[in-house]
Amino acid sequence: MIAADPRHFLYRGLDPDGAKRLAHKHLSSHDDGELYLQYSASEAFGFDDGRLKTADYHSSSGFGLRGVSGETTAFSHANEISEAAIDRAAATLKLLDPAKGAPAAQPQRTNQSMYGATDPLSLVPFAEKVALCQQIDAAARARDPRVAQVSVSLAASWSVIDIVRADGFVASDVRPLVRLGVQIVAEQNGRRETGYHGLGGRYLYGKLFEKAEWERAIDTALAQALVNLESVAAPAGEMQVVLGPGWP
């Protein structure tokens, strides 16, 4: 397992061959099931009042073990990936009756890798993420004198997943996710209204750092806020209601 392989985050207390061996040991007597391994990391930035107010980072890993016999399913999980933890979790599967039919066939490998293996969190330095929030804040305030407040949120997550079956079948996935949100408060004649726009997807930070992308978010949020400033209350109070049979 080389360091460049994102799956090394899954196999720090267990190796891939060990995962296959444990899946076979605990699942081969059942109709179906799998050992699900996942590592995830996430970060979030909150920029408000012209300064960085929050910066959070979190990472976690764990597994789920599922066994199926007939119409009965047993499931157990833990936030520690190790042989001992998987063995303990497998005690739940002992509640299942042994398989009476042939094991489920392997899934067909018809899918393709949708995303690269690059971790978006470590790809861009911390200072550049903060600088982007500052740029967006300054640009939004310069758009219109009625802009009273700007809030920027920037977030990303990255997941590495392995699904191991008793027959040795392994499916892997790496999933990045990034998001940018811009909220603008506009004020006019003592009235304040809010507009918001967010964008993101399963790609790296690069797209969010493109000037055209974050400027579009500013323009959309500002347009919403300015339209809301011109809004009027919907009619309310007593109204005549006509009731009749049929439709409409």
Per-residue pLDDT of 25-44, as tens digits, reads 999 888 889 999 999 999 99
- Cα dihedral sign, 127-130-135-141: negative
Phi-psi category of residue 172: left, alpha or beta, with phi > 0 → left and psi -120 to 50 → alpha: beta
Q: What share of the chain is helix, strand, coil (3-state, %, to 5)?
A: 30, 35, 35
Distance CA 185, CA 144 (A): 11
State the pLDDT at residue 1: 39
| Ranges under pLDDT 70 in the chain | 1-3, 98-111, 248
Strands 51-69 and 147-164, by their bridges, are unpaired
Distance CA 92, CA 76 (A): 7
One-letter amino acid at 139 equals A
Distance CA 131, CA 216 (A): 18
Alpha-carbon separation of residue 226 from 27, 148, 191, 198, 221 (angstroms): 60, 12, 11, 17, 9
State the pLDDT at residue 238: 87
State the pLDDT at residue 93: 81
State the pLDDT at residue 242: 80
Query: What is the domain class of 6-98+115-229 according to CATH?
Result: alpha beta
